[in-house]
Structure 1
């Protein structure tokens, strides 16, 4: 898998070389982005093609998103609402306090304390922004912890690790050894996040998804099939859309 940056979003795509194709082509589905290229194309040729197609790809992704199955409407971000976190829906408590700052904590559920200067009209927007920031910080910490553990144990040293919004896919390992992880994995169980991180680190040793890759992955993460199955079955539900709708 490779990535192309469109604005602030990283789009993961799969390259397929074809000796029969007469022209390059991009196919966008809810599950993936596939780039069909000519058999003799170099990475520079592919990068140039994608550079010319960035606007088309952006529009195609937006169109596909609008046609996907609509998720159930999530209630407003008030006390009693449920927030997805690490594979569970945990309770949200929103309170007022006399302090000057917005405070957020997690104690078997999210607790957000709002000062008096936050008006009722702005409450949902501010609560959504604070929760999103907290989740992004937490998933970055989790990713770095997993990467550090496997780096020390198996000598897997990526050039860099980034956690970001990804329109397609859950992770990627670039040709230079840089690893990218989708921050929406914070909504999956922690074992699933670990599986994705280790999956991408394993690509530092084996670039393709051939038998050698899966054998190596099993050697460093023997139970990978269980979190992989969970992700395959539940990936459509891992989304921060509820924060956007509430904002």
Structure 2
């Protein structure tokens, strides 16, 4: 079950009700009713167990209305891939410019992301370009860090995750959010180093952190940047 609707929530005594976007979903794994904020869609997600009721979900929303509205209002504005929109690339703002007469494809030029072709396909083409750019930048970093540690990476996959910037599977497969290409280069560098370090230590033991520190000196600053700005990257596209 998945249902989207607008639900009026009242924050504080005497406050006027405010319409909030809510996505209802039911999960066989849920043991209790829960809620979270989906930063990418800008929705409140209410998860119900199989026998949970809408009434329980509404009660939870009402009891946490202040928290919900505070979190929603703190979200960065959504930025669509559209002509004139400004998106970060490597942490540097780039303006999207639609130029139907430009040479075929999407390319970088003087601080702009220039896209040719029909306007109807602009968003998809810019998204595809950024995913390809993420792969182009991430693969050399994987190779460099793997060589420095004397390990071998498996396949490298690009995903659009909501909570994890990277992961390392037991078989050596590495996965990264393509949205890292939007972050400053040193932040992407840290996430790649973090996941490659797991090829040596597939855990978060003191040995793992020692390995990571040996190849990446700014991991604490990068973690702090992602805590403060990571949710904003989910609002792009």
Which band: TM-score by shorter chain? 0.5 to 0.7
* SS across alignment from 2:116: strand
2:134 to 129, 135, 139: 139
Taking structure 2 as the reference length, what is the TM-score of the superposition? 0.65
What's 1:85 paired with?
89
**How much has 1:28 moved relative to structure 2?**
7.7
Over 3 Å off, 4+ runs: 23-31, 73-76
Change (3 A) 1:129 1:76: closer
Change (3 A) 1:90 1:221: same
Change (3 A) 1:242 1:218: closer
Change (3 A) 1:74 1:222: closer
Matched, 1:188 2:216: no
* Aligned-partner Cα distance in 1 for 2:125–2:136: 17
What's 2:100 paired with?
96
1:106 to 102, 105, 108: 108
**How much has 1:29 moved relative to structure 2?**
4.7
* SS across alignment from 1:215: helix
Task: Encode CA deviations 1:223-245: one digit per residue, 9 max, x unaligned.
Answer: 32222221122111112x443xx
Any stretches of 5+ residues in structure 2 without a counterpart?
Answer: 1-28, 39-48, 50-67
When the two structures are aligned, how many residues end up with a matched partner? 179
What's 1:216 paired with?
211
Any stretches of 5+ residues in structure 1 without a counterpart?
Answer: 1-22, 32-52, 54-65
Q: How large is the RMSD of aligned CA atoms in angstroms?
A: 3.2
* Aligned-partner Cα distance in 1 for 2:138–2:91: 16
* Aligned-partner Cα distance in 2 for 1:90–1:190: 15
Point out which structure has higher relative CO (alpha carbons under 8 A, 6+ apart). 1
Taking structure 1 as the reference length, what is the TM-score of the superposition? 0.62
Change (3 A) 1:128 1:158: same
Q: Is the 8 A contact 2:166 2:191 kept in 1?
A: yes
